[in-house]
A and B are shown apart, each in its own frame.
Chain A
Amino acid sequence: MKSAGSLYFAGVDLGSTMTKVVIIDGDGVIRARVETHTGAEHRRLANRVMEQALKQAELPFEEITYVIATGYGRINVPFADRQITELTCHARGVTSLFPSARTALDIGGQDAKGLKIKDGKLTNFVMNDKCAAGTGRFLEVIAKTLGLKLEELGDISLKSQNRVNISNTCTIFAQQEVISRLSEGVPVEDIVAGLHEAIASRAVGMLRRLGIEGDVVFTGGVAKNKGVVRAVQENLGHQVLVPDDPLISGALGAALLGKEIAFKSLEKGEPLPKKERRLAEATFYK
């Protein structure tokens, strides 16, 4: 039998905006991590992201003991052994990054999630996935309206001296409000800071519904935006923990859960509950 270190596990997180793959070994050491834009066409081509990760880890696909797919596109990934929701995977990933975490906020491209965690496990959650308001997509649309790059928003908002109130967190209405503020001559940084506040107050409200306990971890693409992080902290009244790479907690959690499932089966001497898998295109849209 192989030693734990020579077993490998992959987590594939197919988000609405970004696809993330993490490969770990049996000791939990990260051997590869790839993040790339999902895009309309690329959702189908998650296998290519997996191939990149395999190349980075210098491993053939057959060497991967267990693959778990998560995220909005987790269904019908032909190279995964099992699918687990991003909520459970994030909870696991966040705990491995910050063992003290009891509450997590994840704001991705398409939804916002609040998680309650105990002993490394998800115990409760709340989700906003009905509209783009308060998500990364909201920031993308607004950045475009302002003629800015998404990644510039954070630094720009930190220059704000007089944040405006953006009353609408409906993406379309907020876009109109931004245009009207611009025409009033309000500086861009004050508008952007107002948008960040709108996202943060909405997200923290969602977390409060869930009940905030212990350290709060903030993950997802939106956690890369320093302006939103600051606004979330102001709304919470305390610091949040943000991983160096806020995007990977879901994929990392998926890989770790894969490892735990595999080790449990090995301990019991049971065969791994595996599917016949092919490193092929996803059939999500067929």
Chain B
Amino acid sequence: MKIIVPIKQVPETGAVKMDETTGTMIREGVEAIINPLDLYGIELAIRLREQFGGEVVTISMGPPKAEKALREAIAMGCDRGILLSDRAFAGADTWATAYALSQAIRKEGQFDLIICGERATDGDTGQVGPAIASFLDLPVASYVSKFDGCDAKAVRVHRLVEDGYEVLEVGLPAVLTVVKEVSDPRLPTLRGKQKARKAEIPVMTHEAIDADPECLGLKGSPTRVVKIHRPKVARQCTKVVAADEAAVAKAVDGLIKMLESKDLI
């Protein structure tokens, strides 16, 4: 089974500070990590390879330093890594990102599965995985919470929906986007790290993937970020103090009335 795992390098969100005037993230000096939700996809891919044989290829679009994320994925157990890095890719929205990634994936020839994390913790769109499927004209199962077996032609997965899960059979090749429930990511090992350090990571530019320059980067992005602002969370607090049972009963009645008046219960 040959599996492609697109990953994204993101700032570690716990350490991110916001620029109050522009409303954007200050990325300088913040540690860059593999998008935490991509780790579940990496883990699932490695497990499938351990079970069925084959190869796991991880791919990332980003600045040269995104190579570190690919090496971490190799340290976890991916076989190879490919970096798409070119000024022409800069400023891409989800459409242009998915286009570039899908062009690079075409260069990989035959494969069985593409496994993505459900969304990245920085952009939070969840669109790139399904968009890759669209560009490559492949079936997609999003929010996959369980891998439930496969044969030569199809995989069977559970897809998380609001009130439970759907059981889907998806013809191969296919794209899966996965949620946390799908696996427990392993930690990289010393031997994995040593292997990753020696691994050669080819860097592909827009020419190497035969991409139409008009469809890349900021120029090729149909969406524009017009304004970003932090929502104001307005919380009101009422303190109710009750010393004896009668007061507690009264306080509870008051609370029920208040919640009812706001249509909360």
A binds B: no
